[in-house]
Amino acid sequence: MIVSGFDLRLRPVHRYVTVEDYRRAARARLPNFVWAYLDGGAEDLVTLRENRTGFSAWSLRSRVLTGKGKPDLSTTVVGKDIKFPVMLAPTGYTGLAHWEGELSAARAAEAAGTRVVLSTVSSWSIEEIAEATTDDQCFQLYPREGDLTTRLMNRAWQAGYRTLFVTVDVPAVGLREGERRMGMSMPPSLTPSRMLNIACHPLWASRVLRHKRISGRNLVDTGRLRDAVESLAIQTRHVVQSALSWDDFAWMRDQWKGRIYIKGILDPADADKAVSLGADGVVVSNHGGRQLEYAVSSIAALPDVVAAVGSRAEVILDSGIRRGTDVIKALALGAKAVLIGRPYIYGLAVEGQLGVERVLEIFRSEIERTLLLMGVGSVRELDRSWLIPRAGRDEDSDNPSTLFDQAVRPHYRSG
Ligand SMILES: Cc1cc2nc3c(=O)[nH]c(=O)nc-3n(C[C@H](O)[C@H](O)[C@H](O)COP(=O)(O)O)c2cc1C
């Protein structure tokens, strides 16, 4: 109905406008120990913060009156045509955020025309995700020669996965002190105040109890607490290995007939080695600031990696992407696409599949609008000439981590 110039048709009302809105809403819905696991980072959170502030080192160039119109966001990466250059990162035990976990994530990715990378320790199995979607998804594994790895690779291949991401930045689990303070372990270490905190989240608790999606379902068959404990033990025994070497990666390259990407690269020499051993691409990543504290931010590491391997292999970036402008800066510095981890988990925690769809749509529309404002006709046009170093920037006033400190720090007090 049009009433004196106003269009009164009903449209869906979205309460959450940015990824940060979803983050705040997710925090309110989850118990402290789950939040500490999902949102936390290593030690003093320096790398976690620099993953955000790193993006403010660049301004965007803008050209006007280009006549280009609506930009084309589509690209081809990991052998797949995707509608915009954002994929979902592998995240373990995602069922803790919302029982629908990777199932909703994969469906949302498919609806949005992109892909998910399924974690080894996902709350839904390789086969469940393959059955729930029609696109071929990607699977993430750790580089370890042995039966378990062979079995998982075979299962993934049988189920139709053709792209493997091999995560190499976990020779030890990063020191995530927030998790320790909150008693995040399997089973969770409970004190009266922690139990009270869980009781204050009855919807979350009832869903966890009913749907039992808290174990690594590629490693064990059920979600009973006993199996959740067992899946973590298997993960600790087989996945986290201190003495991994390039031989392990070369062995996996040999075993896997499809495309293989190495995830967790920050050094150009490592990128070069991986590509010389047959990697189709590298993911520049510091695991979202969850592993090595004082690791360089992913956006700062990107240019050297691109210089080393960009002409021979695809470079993807993750860690700290929260805005369409971040995606554009990563692409302008040579990345083919980005992965998002926590942002999709926030959406999932708040609204299940709809929330993941909304987060993806926020990225898509922010990228589209930014390209229009810059005068860029396609993501493929982006290169370093679209970036201008930001001179004299005020680290504090434009530091998104100021927000982080206000919103998150208080939750890391002992619980
Ligand atoms: C809760 C959580 C669990 C994760 N689990 C895995 C995993 O199982 N395998 C893996 O390769 N990376 C894992 N990651 C790292 C992500 O794949 C990705 O590198 C990181 O989340 C990117 O940073 P962002 O969260 O700032 O987007 C995990 C990240 C989070 C937040």
CA distance 415 to 406: 18
At residue 271's C-alpha, the angle toward residues 389 and 297, to 5°, is 40
Judge if pTM exceeds 0.75: yes
266 belongs to a structural domain: yes
408 belongs to a structural domain: no
The answer to whether the CB of 203 falls within 8 A of the CB of 301 is no
411 belongs to a structural domain: no
Pick the catalytic residue from 98, 211, 287, 411: 287
pLDDT of the chain, 415 residues: tens digit per residue = 556 666 667 666 678 999 999 999 999 999 999 999 999 999 999 999 999 999 999 999 999 999 999 999 999 999 999 999 999 999 999 999 999 999 999 999 999 999 999 999 999 999 999 999 999 889 999 988 888 999 999 999 999 999 999 999 999 999 999 888 888 877 778 888 888 999 999 999 899 888 889 888 998 887 777 778 888 888 777 777 788 899 999 999 999 999 999 999 999 999 999 999 999 999 999 999 999 999 999 999 999 999 999 999 999 999 999 999 999 999 999 999 999 999 999 999 999 999 999 999 999 999 999 999 999 999 999 999 999 999 766 555 445 544 444 444 444 444 4
* Residue identifier of the C-alpha nearest atom 29 of ligand 1: 91
Mutation test residue for ligand 1: of 179, 290, 298, the one with most atoms within 8 Å of CB: 290
404 belongs to a structural domain: no
Ligand 1 nearest-atom number relative to CA 97: 1
CATH code of the domain covering residue 124:
3.20.20.70
Query: Which residues are CB-neighbours of 407 under 8 A, at least 6 positions away?
Result: 23, 24, 27
Nearest alpha carbon to residue 137 among 106, 175, 94? 106
- Looking at the structure of the chain, the number of domains it has is 1
Domain region containing 313: 21-391
Pocket of ligand 1 (CB under 6 A): 37-38, 51, 89-92, 119, 121, 140, 167, 263, 285, 287-288, 290, 318-321, 340-342
398 belongs to a structural domain: no
Nearest alpha carbon to residue 354 among 119, 73, 87, 13? 13
The answer to whether the CB of 85 falls within 8 A of the CB of 337 is yes
403 belongs to a structural domain: no
CA distance 278 to 272: 10
Give 172 Cα–ligand 1 centroid separation in angstroms.
15
